[in-house]
Amino acid sequence: MHKYAEVIIDLVSNAVDRPFHYSIPTHLQGKLEPGMQVTVPLGNRRTQGFVLRLLKETAVESLRDIIAIKDPEPLLTKEQLALAHWLAMRWYCRKIDALHAMIPASFRKEKRPKKPQVIEATAAAFGADLKRAPAQREAVSILLGKGPLSRNKLIQQGVKAETIRTLEKKGLVQSITVSSGQIKKEKAAPSTRPHLMRDEQAGCFEQLSTALGLPGAQKMLLHGVTASGKTEIYMQGIARCLEQDRTALIMVPEISLTPQMIEHFEGRFPGLVAVLHSRLTVSEKNRQWQAILSGEARVVLGARSAVFAPLAAIGLIIIDEEHETTYKQEDTPRYHARDVAWWRARYNRAVLLLGSATPSLESYYQSMEDDTLLLSMKERVTPTQLPPVKVVDMRRELKENHRHIFSRLLLEELNGVIERDEQALLFINRRGFAGFVLCRECGYVVRCPSCDVSLTLHKDRELMCCHYCAHEAPVPQTCPGCGGIKIRYFSAGTQRVEDEVRKLYPAVSLIRMDRDTTSSREAHSNYYRQFKDRKASILIGTQMIAKGFDFPGVTLVGVVAADTTLNLPDFRAPERTFQLLTQVSGRTARGPKGGKVIVQTYHPSHYSILAAADHDYITFYEKELENRRQLAYPPFSDLIRFLFSSEDEKAVFEAANWFTDLLEPFGASAELMGPAPASLYRIKEQYRVQTILKGKSLTRLAPAIRKVIREYHTHKPPWPVRLAVDFNPQVVL
């Protein structure tokens, strides 16, 4: 008999970030299960906690009793408990943060809604002879013993879905609706049928289908150009998976999760789709969650956090646009959905399918190293061609005395669009506010000699600084590349572009979309609709407009300054540039009139710009991989970033130095860089300083690093400094 329980306290605090042992009072023995929420004493108060496991014995003395069980059913599944443990270890978070990630807050705190559908044994089951069918007998005895259970619960008890179906056919069990369905819509989405696939598409689907028939976990990368019909493969893969009585999870970036997309999936799998994203109200979220738990929803469509959806018997996990940085959570727990998905695929022996037109270097590298099966699609579904991309050399514009923000070519094309009453999209990346120094005459950018990232200008100190290794250099008066004097701070924003367009075309209507103009959700979809309905001729925007938008009227895409992305002080800058240019190119040539892309840059011969212009991923990949290899950046290494922040500038450096000294022993097997001011040195009154550890397979150091972090939290001098630890950060600004 288990007399003790290991409990994690439900308080977000480093002080209680360890399991506590409690004894189970007699009246609760036999009722307690791992994953349950319990009330326990802590000091002189009562608090909530989660049972991690039950113990037969413990070395801890003078234990206190568990006070009560909150709900007779465990809130967390066995899989979620195991996943939370892995999450805390891999991503350096508190166990409670990891557990919280598994369940929506509303679900933890409030009383859960009633289950909509449960399976119960029928009267016939009492007298049925099931001696020769031990699996069915077991299932019936569970139901008779425990009463009606949801399909999911029954499967968790070890009953196969197939067995339940057989019993249903025999009339020995039936599913009954306890309350009205949770995911039923008042108005059903128009149903859609599977499309006939092209040869290339069918070939990829064949391979996916084969993988779904295999017993083990499998990772696949679907590399398909924009509009090559990846979604149809996803849908038919999901259908195959449902036929096998398994469930499916599909993740898309939050911004792509439009009503149209949701309708598309609901139409294909009516009554089976739960949708999870951040705009749901609390009750909507609870309903969706409940529908998944009960087994009513067998397909989950959602953004990043949907990766934790409590689906049982997952057969297929799909991550669309797998290269997107939004799959990495930037707050605690700082997990990457791709890694979590792969963990779950292995746990469930499922297929993980990653899809992208511009796969992340990490994923593509794995497909070359045979860890992942590569599927490629090079043709578009519709006969339209990929648009021609023209690269404009802005240094030349200057040399020939054209100083406007728009090159002569872009102006000419814009005039054409307006004359012909077509639509244009002007794109400017404004990510990060970090400024860099660029020579207008030759395109030279001052970079760190050892890290190859651009140096960030700190205006107040008149210095440029590498925020990886802390290398400093004065701002040059003349260009080290060409000796010219037009070397200065570079920045460009959407507001500036808007002003210029208004000056040029006062009578033309335009829309600007960026974080300032679309703070509300409605604004975003309003602008989208207005532009789609051709109420405006020009749309100006940030990366927000680069994704998923499909406007047949757009015949021109102008990238105003590719340099803002290319020179981000981040080792992934060339990769981001390639992805972004490919994505914006995909926004045109969708209609019968075709389209054109114009890219303005001071680096017209940079490989990521040339490769994007040629729609040539492989060339880009090979070049970029070689650079990463030489500088030992991922995928050839792991990075751990320790970010310190505080309103007190002196304290933040002292804390960073104190901590970095503790990391010194790791310098033997990994490269220790910093502390250095972060590229975004001051955000919301907070000074930010970082130390980076770079090396091969750093996961092996995790236990030792966790000790150092604990040391920091318990023994650091009393600085008011926050420490955030990030394993393989996607954005290092």
Q: Applying CB under 5 A, which residues contact Zn ion?
A: 439, 441-442, 444, 448, 450-451, 466, 468-469, 471, 479, 481-482, 484
Question: Of 583 and 690, which has the nearer Cβ to Zn ion?
Answer: 690
According to DSSP, the β-strands at 218-224 and 373-377 are parallel
The answer to whether the CB of 23 falls within 8 A of the CB of 63 is yes
Q: Which residues sit opposite 221 in a β-bridge?
A: 354, 374
Nearer to Zn ion, 128 or 482 (CB): 482
Q: Which is nearer to Zn ion, 33 or 452 (CB)?
A: 452
Which residue's entry shows tokens 């020939």?
Answer: 400
Helix (H, G, I), strand (E, B) or coil at 379: coil
Residue 444 beta carbon to Zn ion: minimum distance, rounded to whole angstroms: 4
Q: Which is nearer to Zn ion, 177 or 450 (CB)?
A: 450
**Nearest approach, Cβ of residue 471 and Zn ion (Å):** 4
Contact 306, 300 (CB under 8 A): yes
Alpha carbons 404 and 412: distance in angstroms, whole number? 13
Task: Tell me whether residue 265 or residue 444 sits nearer to Zn ion (CB atom).
Answer: 444
- For the bound state, the minimum distance from the C-beta of residue 380 to Zn ion, rounded and expressed in Å, comes to 40
Q: How far is the CB of 527 from Zn ion (least distance, A)?
A: 39
Instruction: State both tokens at 702.
Output: 């995790």
- Considering beta carbons, is residue 120 or 671 the nearer one to Zn ion? 671
Residue 444 or 527: the one with the smaller Cβ distance to Zn ion is 444
Least distance from C-beta 453 to Zn ion, angstroms?
A: 7
Residue placing its CB nearer to Zn ion in the complex, 22 or 602: 602
Q: Which is nearer to Zn ion, 267 or 481 (CB)?
A: 481
Nearer to Zn ion, 284 or 671 (CB): 671
What is the smallest separation between the CB atom of 726 and Zn ion, expressed in angstroms?
A: 18
Dihedral angle sign, alpha carbons of residues 195, 199, 200, 205: positive
CA of 199: how far to CAs of 202, 226, 241, 357, 649, in Å? 5, 17, 22, 19, 61
The CB-of-468 to Zn ion minimum distance in angstroms stands at: 5
Give the containing element (helix H, strand E) for 723: strand 722-727
Nearer to Zn ion, 549 or 602 (CB): 602
Backbone angles phi, psi at 350, to 5 degrees: -110, 175
CB nearer to Zn ion: pick between 451 and 560: 451
In the bound complex, what is the minimum distance in angstroms from residue 353's beta carbon to Zn ion?
A: 37
Question: Got the DSSP string for 163-208?
Answer: HHHHHHHHTSEEEEESSS-SS--SSPPPP--PPPPPHHHHHHHHHH
**Residue type, position 591, single letter:** G
CB of 467 to Zn ion, least distance (A): 8
CA dihedral (669, 670, 676, 679) in degrees, to 10, reads: -170
d(CA 562, CA 426): 12
Distance in Å, CB of 708 to Zn ion, minimum: 23
Residue 300, strand partner residues: 249, 274
Q: In the β-sheet with 686-695, what is the strand arrangement from edge to edge?
A: 671-683, 686-695, 638-646, 722-727
Least distance in angstroms from the C-beta of 481 to Zn ion: 4
Which token pair is 274? 């739960």
Instruction: With H, G, I as helix, E, B as strand and everything else as coil, classify residue 147.
Output: coil
CB nearer to Zn ion: pick between 70 and 471: 471
The answer to whether the bond into 665 is cis (omega within 30° of 0) is: no
Q: Which is nearer to Zn ion, 466 or 670 (CB)?
A: 466
What minimum distance in Å lies between the beta carbon of 330 and Zn ion? 23
**CB burial class (10 A; 0-12, 13-18, 19+) of residue 443?**
buried
Q: Please, where are the H alpha helices in 476-616?
A: 494-504, 521-532, 563-566, 573-585, 607-613
Nearest approach, Cβ of residue 560 and Zn ion (Å): 21
Residue carrying the six token digits 């109200």: 281
Query: In this complex, which beta carbon is closest to Zn ion, that of residue 8 or of residue 439?
Result: 439
Tell the smallest beta-carbon distance from residue 570 to Zn ion (Å).
12
- Work out whether strand 45-55 and strand 4-9 pair parallel, antiparallel, or are unpaired: antiparallel
Nearer to Zn ion, 393 or 616 (CB): 393
Angle between helix 573-585 and 617-631 (nearest 10): 170
- CA dist 439 and 542 (Å) reads 24
Separation of alpha carbons 685 and 439, rounded Å = 31
Closer Cβ to Zn ion, 101 or 469, answer by number: 469
**22 CB contacts (<8 Å, ≥6 apart)?**
4, 5, 7, 40, 63, 64, 65, 66
Q: Which residues pair with 444 in a beta bridge?
A: none
Query: Tokens standing for 183?
Result: 């995911």
Nearest approach, Cβ of residue 488 and Zn ion (Å): 11
Which residues are bridge partners to 688 per DSSP? 645
Q: Which is nearer to Zn ion, 362 or 452 (CB)?
A: 452
Q: How far is the CB of 451 from Zn ion (least distance, A)?
A: 3
Cα–Cα separations (whole angstroms), residue 282 to 70, 76, 103, 315: 20, 19, 12, 28
CB of 448 to Zn ion, least distance (A): 3
Within 371-519, strands assigned E span 373-377, 389-393, 423-427, 436-439, 456-458, 463-465, 472-474, 487-490, 510-513
- Least Å distance, CB 434 to Zn ion, is 14
Classify residue 680 by burial, with Cβ atoms within 10 Å: 0-12, 13-18, 19+: middle
